[in-house]
Amino acid sequence: MDIEEEPYRLTKARILQILGDAAFYHRCPLYLFMEDMGRATAVEYAAAVGRAGKGPDKSHAIAAPAITAFVRHTVRLHDSDPQLLQQLRAYLEERLSYQPHRFLLTFSEQSCYQYLDF
């Protein structure tokens, strides 16, 4: 009996790691427009998490705009042509040092959870 491999889930934490990686923008030029925002957000988020317990936690508010931009752009690319996500897939496979069968991005749209499987 074959057991289907679980998809690699692109969680918020993983998306933040991607956005903070300069190599991501070179490997995936379709995301280049968000490099400044993505890298700055990753630095600000890390600083906010480092201050945890020393005041209100603002890490979600810091990360949300960049994560939202990444998710929306990824969905638009997929809707336009699923092949446009091949660069993202190749980047992730290289970074992970293995090739997951599927990548799964979960997002909320109009209070409903949606799934992008690529």
| Residue 84, domain member (yes or no) | yes
Element (H, E) at 82: none
| Residue 1, domain member (yes or no) | no
| Residue 2, domain member (yes or no) | no
pLDDT in tens, 34-65: 999 999 999 999 888 877 666 566 788 899 99
Structural domain boundaries, residue 20: 8-117
Neighbours of 45 (CB within 10 A): 22
Number of domains in the chain: 1
Q: 90 near 38, Cβ under 8 Å?
A: no
Distance CA 57, CA 72 (A): 25
How many CA atoms does the CB half-sphere of 74 hold within 13 Å? 26
Distance CA 108, CA 60 (A): 15
Average per-residue pLDDT in the chain?
90
